[in-house]
A = this chain, B = another copy of it.
């Protein structure tokens, strides 16, 4: 469960793996390599070679019916012919030979089998059938499967390079605290290879492929509990068990281990690719983002940027709070000016330095040349180590500054100046993001920092995505996990009466939201024009009259709405006109007309609910009318929401300033909008999959202090009470 509210149970993974099982797979004491070979151009040759090269210290069992020895080790005809059942067998034989090998492993008592072979479930129906038979064969003896269509496991902490990935051609695996779980093996190898160049250290990197048996969440849960792992990167194509995923994410948040994730399916093409690739259904990307927001997960777009950001979170001090400003320093006026300008495309900003900071820097540079993006070339005595240190220490002492960026250009003493930064960052407790803009002439500085186990960057763009991810994570630390939402008084319970299947009328929808304490327009149904006039007496003119027919959901377009009717004569005429339309468009099935009070306000919102089959009940808000249609300016959150979260949703709308009174207009009743959003979110949470979606459009906001009122609405409910 995501948020403590019951919803349709996900089918659980058939067998949740124990922590000990996963630990053994990731750090095995013995490994059988099926198809082991001396030949590095072959799969089994590369695996053997990489395991030996990167220092596997356990027992290695080459399996090859045609060889006595492989790379000097005694080889065995089959896994079952080996002197002991290994903790792990790794296998990449063609599909035709796969089942027999897996059966042999299972029979021999292997703990887990890593299946590299592809073209199974992701390829076609025959592949899917074979994949299912592998799982059944393994389950017979309790053996677990990783993959198929995966690339294995890289565990630099324990020297286990259990993969055929060419990323292992690197000289040395650097152990560290960044863990990865990836549905794409090639992408994982690529990320490891790229990041090792920068000195990033990894704990455990697991490629899960098609997840036929063990899945991403099995390894995610393991990493959350793994002391060696402090930051987690995930490449996800589709989640098999969203509830399990977000439960693990919440535990990671509680353990202060950032989770960064890139997920396929932001676009339809991406989703189609993912399905071709690992047979994963991508699900709703917007729903995923929303659920991540509630669980403290940071979502990114570029996998390489993700690993750079993870490295910074692992090896640098983290900003103490979200939203802090940035300072910069370099010996080039060009790079400092451009760095300042490049912030314009982001939601980051330069800090405003304190008078003390300015004063400290004025000891080094004339006042007119002291900037928050500081060019050391303007130092009165020129760039110097002392000056650089003094400016950075001043930045470190300034509470408005959260991070310092050093975009270095070609200049004398590059490595010497770079070497100052690790101590300054440690001492000041703030991240310094060093960026070597030059090419190979800057390699000495890069090597210097790599030797000092300090991250560096090559591009301002990477610094910016890293700072944004660091800020996103700082944001999750401050706002905590959403909710602690508490039910507002009088919100619910949902009416128990059986709902109509499908679309609710405006009147039925309003009854539902009114049961949660959301004010709705005063209104009364009428079967004819005279009844309408009688109803209007009680409501008071001017009034609105609407025709009601379940089949017609766009009432205005059909001519079924007339507003601002000033008196009985106008109402009578309008009612007759609407009845004529109803009789023509929905003869015998319409439900007559409804007379409503005419409400004026200073702004109109759309608020609503949506039930996501993967990620559960959600609540949404946007501006009404043309704004929502053209700008798609809508915010979504997992339901229920707390008032703080509801306010944050409103504040993230582009048109948020419009609620606060623009051009002398009065400000709108934001508190009433927040209250309506919270109440609606409880309706969504309570009804779960029974309420597929509901829109109040418009929710009319009166001036501050005067409330909000639902003026129209519609909803879709599932007929049988289940999704």
Contact = CB atoms under 8 A, between A and B. Distances in A.
B630 A276 contact: no
Q: Does more than half of chain A's interface fall in helix, strand or loop, or is it mixed?
A: helix
Contacts of A184: 332-335, 337, 409
A503 interface: no
A68 interface: no
Contact of A269 (B41, B350, B657): B350
A368 to B, nearest CB: 7
Interface string A179-191: 0001111111110
A62 interface: no
A633 to B, nearest CB: 10
A459 B267 contact: no
Nearest to A271: B337
Given A123-B366, A276-B333, A193 B441 contact: yes
Contacts of A635: none
A331 interface: yes
A302 interface: yes
Contacts of A271: 337
A640 B195 CA distance: 52
Contacts of A303: 334, 338
B186 A409 contact: yes
A123 B369 CA distance: 8
B273 A235 contact: no
A162 interface: no
Contact of A335 (B167, B186, B337, B411): B186
Contact of A186 (B344, B410, B658): B410
Interface string A332-359: 1111111011111100001000000000
Interface string A103-121: 0000000000000001000
A440 B170 contact: yes
A669 interface: no
A371 B275 CA distance: 11
A442 interface: yes
A467 to B, nearest CB: 15
A81 interface: no
Contacts of A412: 41, 166
A693 to B, nearest CB: 19
Interface in A630-673: 630-631, 654-655, 657-658, 662-664
Nearest to A664: B557
A556 B378 CA distance: 50
A425 interface: no
Nearest to A194: B439
Contact of A267 (B188, B340, B368): B340
Contacts of A169: 441
Given A276-B333, A276-B378, A410-B190, A269 B371 contact: yes
A592 interface: no
A187 B658 contact: no
Given A341-B301, A371-B269, A439-B193, A334 B182 contact: yes
A372 B658 CA distance: 42
A187 B441 contact: no
B170 A441 contact: yes
Nearest to A276: B369
Contacts of A657: 629-630
B344 A266 contact: yes
Contacts of A272: 371
B371 A442 contact: no
A304 B414 CA distance: 19
A276 B375 contact: yes
A304 B435 CA distance: 13
B237 A190 contact: no
Contacts of A190: 332, 335, 409-410, 437-439
Interface in A173-224: 182-190, 193-197
A617 interface: no
A375 B409 contact: no
B183 A629 contact: no
A155 interface: no
A270 interface: yes
Given A301-B345, A332-B184, A341-B266, A195 B439 contact: yes
A124 interface: yes
B273 A340 contact: yes
A147 interface: no
17 contacts: A118-B377, A166-B438, A170-B441, A186-B335, A190-B410, A190-B438, A265-B341, A267-B350, A270-B341, A270-B344, A276-B333, A276-B375, A301-B344, A302-B338, A304-B459, A557-B663, A630-B654
Interface of A: 41, 118, 122-124, 165-167, 169-170, 182-190, 193-197, 235, 237, 262, 264-267, 269-274, 276-278, 301-305, 331-338, 340-345, 350, 366, 368-369, 371-373, 375, 377-378, 409-412, 414, 437-442, 459-461, 556-557, 625-626, 629-631, 654-655, 657-658, 662-664
For the complex of A and B, the 5 pairs showing the least CB-CB separation, nearest first, are A184-B334, A277-B333, A187-B334, A273-B337, A270-B341
Given A187-B409, A273-B375, 11 more contacts: A118-B377, A170-B441, A186-B377, A187-B334, A194-B439, A237-B337, A262-B338, A265-B337, A273-B336, A274-B333, A301-B345
